[in-house]
Amino acid sequence: MHRKRVGTFVVFVAVTGCLLVADCRIAAQVKKTPAVSPKSAKVPEKLPLLKKDDFEYLGAFRLPGPDSGKQTFAYGGTALAFNPLNESLFLVGHDHHQEVAEVSIPKTLTKSERVADLPEAAILQPLKGILGRLPRWTLDGNVKIGGLMVVDKKLIGTAYVYYDGPGKAVDSHFMLESTDLNSEARGLFQVGRLGAGFVAGYMAPVPPEWQKKIGAPYLTGQAALAIISRTSSGPAVFGFDPKNLGKTPAPVHNLVHYPLKNPLGKIDTKNPYYNGMTTIRGVVFPPHTRSVLFFGTHNNGTADYKPGGWVLRDGRTFFQVWAYDANHLLAVKKGAAPPWRVRPYDVWEMPLPITTPNMILGGAALDPATRRVFVSQQFGNGVLPLIHVFGIRG
């Protein structure tokens, strides 16, 4: 049984050609995405694939302090979710407490290598505990929130056991009856039959033009956890409908995952896809494309297993995107290929001007109306996270 330890958390901004901070300030308001054309809606399989050059860095913003105590984002910044009702973000605060807050997205973003130049988000809902309020608690050990998502004015979440040695966790999803963090909590619920280690993480909406093909309006997945035998050795995602939470189990459509015997990359080798130091923390499915994009941390070195976990022997860590063709996922859903046969059509590094030896991405979320991708960088501002924003051209 392989054990996999997540390393320290880190920093993340972007290279700019600006001479003055004032020259780097840009409006966060982006043109709304036009409606899907009738032709594209009928044949989504012919939509374009995204490339690295399709992404433009728009700027970043800070989260407010303090940097200690229970009401803090320090050591947090995970499970990012876009809230279309308020054009805001939900995310998890301090790692030890696993509480959730809602913050604003500043109207103006800043491109700067200096954290002090970045605007600061406002707190719309303060950090609030959810896991301790769930009426059906079935998990043991150190439990973390793996993902959040707004669905039909409700907040959907996932919870996973950080170190599930026996691999016995089954239940994974929960919900709040509204986006008010004080609203009634329900769960935990089982989703699929592979175990929580494959589904108890990131989530994302499926674009309307793809929902009939995929057979579900949303995606859920989890990968690259400690005790790799109970999770996916590479990006994993399944189609599901939160309306089915409460069924035993809620049904899923298998789209891609990599069991231990069929990894995306060998866990102890240097390769561009996956090894013992890889983390995967988010997924987005941009509308009017056929690209399903996973966000996480990878490296260009060799992973070695030492007592206590995996370490990087050489090379460096960086933020990475794994890009998959939805047509290939559709082939898995139709039964034409096993889920581990699918490969990314591309992977790329997200270039950053501020780096540290060990980079960890906290989460990723998409505003489908403006095609903005929000990426959390843990420890980007001392112990506090930063939020970086990318625009998808076209």
Q: Is the pLDDT of residue 138 over 50?
A: yes
pLDDT confidence of residue 14: 35
Mean pLDDT within 159-167:
95
Show the tokens assigned to 56: 């433009």
CA 338, CA 316: separation in Å to the nearest integer?
32
Confirm if 350 and 298 have CB atoms less than 8 A apart: no
Confirm if 83 and 323 have CB atoms less than 8 A apart: no
* Per-residue pLDDT band at 8 (split at 50, 70, 90): very low
Q: Is the pLDDT of residue 376 over 80?
A: yes
**Residues 6 or more apart from 248 whose CB is under 8 A from it?**
190
pTM more than 0.75: yes
Q: Is the pLDDT of residue 312 over 90?
A: no
* Per-residue pLDDT band at 176 (split at 50, 70, 90): very high
CA 265, CA 218: separation in Å to the nearest integer?
27
Q: Is the pLDDT of residue 5 over 50?
A: no
- Min mean pLDDT across 15-24, 174-183, 275-284 is at 15-24
CA 255, CA 221: separation in Å to the nearest integer?
10
Mean pLDDT within 317-323:
95
- Min mean pLDDT across 21-35, 161-175, 275-289, 361-375 is at 21-35
pLDDT confidence of residue 360: 84
> What are the pLDDT digits (tens) for 54-70?
999 999 999 999 888 88
Of 348, 291, 285, the closest CA to residue 325 belongs to 291
Residue predicted with more confidence, 19 or 109? 109
Q: How many CA atoms lie within 13 A of 102 on its CB side?
A: 17
Cα distances from 37 to residues 34, 45, 371, in angstroms, run: 8, 14, 17
Mean pLDDT within 335-356:
89
Mean pLDDT within 10-34:
39
Mean pLDDT within 67-81:
94
* Per-residue pLDDT band at 355 (split at 50, 70, 90): low
- Min mean pLDDT across 26-30, 39-43, 47-51, 266-270 is at 26-30
CA 291, CA 276: separation in Å to the nearest integer?
26
> What are the pLDDT digits (tens) for 182-211?
999 999 999 999 999 999 999 999 999 999
In the chain, what are the domains?
50-392 (2.120.10)
Q: Is the pLDDT of residue 343 over 70?
A: yes
